[in-house]
Structure 1
Amino acid sequence: MDTTPQQSPARPPRPPRAPLADGLRFAFGTLTALPVRVRRWDRAAAHTGMLCAPLPGLLVGACAAALGGLLLLLDGGPPLAAVATVAVPAALTRGLHLDGLADTADGLGSGKPAEDALRIMKQSDIGPFGVITLLFALLAQIAAVAGLYAEDWAHGAVAAAVAGAVARCALTLAARATVPAARPEGLGAAVAGAVPVRSAVLAAVAVTAGCAALGSVFGPSGAIRHALAAVAALGAAELLLRHCRRRFGGVTGDVFGGLAETAAGTALVVLALG
């Protein structure tokens, strides 16, 4: 009889973690155009930074809501306020997420093998699929925000904050350990697989709870409504992520941009329908 003590299987090594300050700099420096100096550009900073990604999204949403509120105060009307609210995230990201959405649409719409589709996405021009996707995505966001502002400023403002947070939370989920990079270079490769699956899921749960808390200013039904909007947004981004993994073999910086815009637009539309 073998009496040799059985050794428990070795636990996988924990991913390196950077200090919170470095993670915040990474998140704000890579996901916004704010003048933040990124001091570390390594896997540890990517791990902490992508976990912090919803925070710059929340700030971007708050800035968008502030400008929209100012225009409403000046009697600009809901449509003009909605245009400004949607324009702020584009300005604070230098349009990179919108560009990523367009490039992803061109790559997916080309119907070509992964290598050729990735080459199309890397080109500087935008094809017909990208133009059409951008047009309808922006129109849907503006129409949704205008409808929310027509109720009152608070509904539009909270929706803008929720959309900003869930858009970046979609990036946290896309950076989980089971999602590979499609290319060996670029932002996608820098952050792909940097976040453990459990941490990414906990971040999504925390963001959903935060959205419910924001929506609770409109009562219990508002909390449920905003939580459902967050779940729908992250679900839509996950569907796009799965499709991109099948088509491209992984994620790229353009795919990250497409995921963010998909999540933001879905959240706004769901809230407008509610």
Structure 2
Amino acid sequence: MTSPFDGLRFAFGTLTVLPVGVTRWDREAARGGMLSAPVAGLVVGGCAAGLGLLLLYLGASPLLAAVASAAVPAALTRGLHLDGLADTADGLGSGRPAEDALRIMKQSDIGPFGVLTLVLVLLAQVAALTQLYDSSWTRGALAAVVSAVAARLALTLAARDGVPAARPEGLGAAVAGVVPVRGAVLTAVLVTLAAAVAGGWFGPYDGGVGAVIGAVDPGPLLEPYDAVRTALAVLGALVAAEVLLRHCTRRFGGITGDVFGGLAETAATVTLLLLCLGR
């Protein structure tokens, strides 16, 4: 019988470096794992926000806190999502047929398209987090958490029924099509609503450690503007990830582990950029 913990172990075992002791790799466990992917994102984002807030409390600049917050997800995934982003960029940028593009993506080296994409994406993430931390400690921390959750939510949607695998082996083959469409949509709705509540709760607070502590009891009403902004940021990230997913599916014939990494980093970056708008 499938236990809910099998899915959580699968999610943390494939999407983080945390030692969770994955014991099942069948498709039922993969289904639970992909539905639980946002939970893994919550833990990763919480660690990223925690380190950023700690550095700010110790007197570091918003820029240094932003660099640390961007580095934590990379460390907790051994850089696999960034590597997948670079490989996907090389495969798409090669202009080769699907078989040759997949071969390029599988090589251990990174080409010019991959390097350029990595540089621009990391710069965008750090710049966005710097602006948000400078605006408010709570907004920066919230953005670090929401972007990490949105990144893993994009993977839940990418693993839905009807999306094929490009190869017969690897992570893409293990999770392709395992999530029912209804389950993927329901997960997306719940995560977006949770993000909206978090945005309305923490978004209005300005300042430093006092705002972080005060945000525990913000009063009976949430701030609608920040709630809507956060929800739209998540939805915008999912749209961007869906566009990339469809393009990769057409170009490569399906998804791969590298494409999953590219989707996660795309969703995280778009979330951060949208949260900056209007500040």
TM-score range, shorter chain: over 0.9
Matched, 1:46 2:50: no
Letter in 2 for 1:42: D
Partner of 1:172: 156
Query: Aligned partners of 1:74, 1:47: CA distance in 2, in Å?
Result: 42
How far, CA to CA, are the matches of 1:104 and 1:157 in structure 2?
29
Q: CA deviation at 1:74?
A: 1.3
Hey, what does 1:123 align to over in structure 2? 107
May I ask how many residue pairs the two structures share in their alignment? 258
Per-residue Cα deviation, 1:59-84 (whole angstroms, up to 9, x for no partner): 10010000000111111110000000
Q: Is 1:264 the counterpart of 2:250 in the alignment? A: no
Equivalences for 1:35-184 in 2 at 5 Å?
35-184=19-168
CA distance in 2, matches of 1:132, 1:210: 34
Q: Which has the larger radius of gyration?
A: 1
Unaligned stretches of 5+ residues in structure 1: 1-16
TM-score between both structures, scaled by the size of structure 2: 0.91
Q: Which residue of 2 aligns with 1:208?
A: 192
Q: Does 2:238 correspond to 1:234? A: yes
How far has the Cα of 1:255 moved from its partner?
Answer: 0.1
Q: Which amino acid in the other structure matches residue 116 of structure 1?
A: D
Who is 1:6 aligned against? Answer: none
Conservation of the 8 A alpha-carbon contact between 1:18 and 1:47: no
Q: Where does residue 7 of structure 1 map in the other structure?
A: none
1:273 matched to 2:267:
no
For the residue of structure 2 that corresponds to 1:33, the secondary structure is: coil
1:183-219 C-alpha deviation (Å, 9 max, x unpaired): 0000010000000111111111111111101101131
Letter in 2 for 1:72: L
**Distance between the aligned counterparts of 1:210 and 1:142, measured in 2?**
24
Q: Which runs of 5+ in 2 are unaligned?
A: 205-222
Per the alignment, residue 32 of structure 1 pairs with 16
Return the letter of the residue paired with 1:79.
Answer: L
What are the Cα deviations for residues 130-166 of structure 1, in whole angstroms up to 9, with x where unaligned?
0000000000000000000001110000111100111
Alpha-carbon distance in 1 for matches of 2:256, 2:122: 22
Secondary structure of 2:129's counterpart equals helix
- Matches of 2:236 and 2:167, distance apart in 1: 29
Counterparts of 2:156 and 2:54, CA distance in 1: 31
Residue 162 of structure 2 aligns with an amino acid whose one-letter code is T
Distance 1:167 1:210 in 2: 15
2-structure distance, mates of 1:18, 1:264: 31
Quick one: distance in 2 between partners of 1:273 and 1:98?
A: 24
User: Percent sequence identity over matched residues?
Assistant: 70
Structure 1: which 4+ aligned runs deviate by more than 6 Å? Answer: none
Q: What residue number does 2:229 align with?
A: 225
